Structure 1
């Protein structure tokens, strides 16, 4: 009998505690209201550039959406952010997304790997769950690692050929002519190019241009020119 009484008391205590916790949750709900999230971001992609990155936002349908806040770390513990308004001016019809650019060329320019966080905000101030994406920003350090394509000049000085290089889209070219002047610099996309009135023993100046990834927004030129001597005296 005593055992039955003890079990009944324990069960009553547990039920009372459960009801008390439920009341606390209910009171909190009544006080603050339910947690409401703004429409989420379906997808976020990035496109690398020179000291900048383009961020593309594909938001879920939400009649109340207002803008998107993008943030990232400048240094450890220090964040920066930008607001992307969901307006026609920021909409890319071809890609079907809203976009903005992060980064500028300055003394504190961002370079290298970057993690970007994005959060939608609706017209009532509600925020969505956070979406993150990784990005890479090219800068002086990266460009210093790029190499010019080697060139071959025909013995007759009537053609120049460029070494194929992964990621290269072409080469800037200027060469010394018989009158001692250099031709106007041109951009050559072919693997070879004809030379006219090239000076024997003259100089050919070339510089290779790269597009590292097809989705990149900027092409990158090697820092220094490659100078090659023409055949002949």
Structure 2
């Protein structure tokens, strides 16, 4: 029995010798790292989202429910720029908008810190800032075609397909009463109808874009496209009188006017021409020019048979245009080579 006990004790001693030297070497390997005490990390954020903007970027930091962190520290440009964000104990998400970010892509390093100065392991995320380069790449939605209903003062706009990132297109116009109106056109819409548009006014088209689906800023195209609403060119029914005077000023006769006329568009907005003068018919060597003014008066000029001048009526008020009805009230005079002259009063109504 005694011999067995000695063997047992020697075996135990041998095992102890094997164990303790190993433990000593293991402790020696980590000693330098814990000589100042245990390393404590602050709780890091759960996730990060970035949102593009106009020379700025928004970061949303999702926070864990049980946390020690009291602030988040964001750095970029090789840690040359740093932003600290306070974290409240009740916040589920901490948000920050980084302003004055030149148009570019960025890589952010984010870690948290607690009141004791302990920091979390850093997380990385990327973000994009848009600016002048993106702005200058944008254009307004393309107008495929327009259909102008002169009789009802109605403009139909047919659109081409919308571009990537387009969120809407604003169409601005003036109605018959002179009131400014706006219509917002969505990318899914292919046609827009403007009712009671004012003749001689301009329709403006301006589109708006988001550079990314969740971007915090929209970009509006800097220059508006224009559509001139010129209801005045077209076909009319003319009714009135032509008074024929001799060179001495005596009235020779009076003739009724009842004739269809066509007013032709020119390259200059607000100016139309016609070869149908009074009730003389259409002559290639004759032309009357109607210049529409902002106050809806009309300046009449031109010539008959190349040399006979056409001018405003010498005694009656100037010719006028009614933008509500689309009618023209013309009063003018032309003089023949022998001195005889004609005074004309006629009303031109848009032909259905």
1:174/1:182 contact within 8 Å kept = no
Query: How far apart are the structure 2 equivalents of 1:159 and 1:223?
Result: 24
Query: How far apart are the structure 2 equivalents of 1:203 and 1:23?
Result: 85
TM-score (norm 2): 0.50
Gaps of 5+ in 1: 1-15
2:246 equivalent in structure 1: none
Aligned equivalent of 2:114, options 101, 111, 122: 122
Cα deviation for residue 132 of structure 1 reads 1.1
| Residues 210 and 88 of structure 1: CA distance in aligned 2, closer, same or farther (over 3 Å) | farther
Query: How far apart are the structure 2 equivalents of 1:167 and 1:186?
Result: 19
1:43 equivalent in structure 2: 47
Alpha-carbon displacement from aligned partner over 1:44-66 (angstroms, at most 9, x marks no partner): 11011112111011233443211
1:39/1:61 contact within 8 Å kept = no
Query: How far apart are the structure 2 equivalents of 1:54 and 1:227?
Result: 35
1:204 equivalent in structure 2: 203
1:64 equivalent in structure 2: 68
- Where relative contact order (Cα < 8 A, 6+ residues apart) is larger, the structure is 1
2:253 equivalent in structure 1: none
Query: How far apart are the structure 1 equivalents of 2:34 and 2:212?
Result: 53
Query: How far apart are the structure 1 equivalents of 2:181 and 2:176?
Result: 14
Alpha-carbon displacement from aligned partner over 1:29-87 (angstroms, at most 9, x marks no partner): 453223322112221110111121110112334432111011122xxx67222111112
Query: How far apart are the structure 2 equivalents of 1:88 and 1:60?
Result: 10
Gaps of 5+ in 2: 1-20, 234-352
Query: How far apart are the structure 2 equivalents of 1:24 and 1:137?
Result: 47
1:111 equivalent in structure 2: 103
* Higher Cα radius of gyration: 2
2:132 equivalent in structure 1: 140
Q: Hey, which of these two has a bigger chunk of strand by percent?
A: 2
1:169 equivalent in structure 2: 167
Q: Hey, which of these two has a bigger chunk of helix by percent?
A: 1
RMSD of the TM alignment (CA)? 2.9
Matched, 1:195 2:194: yes
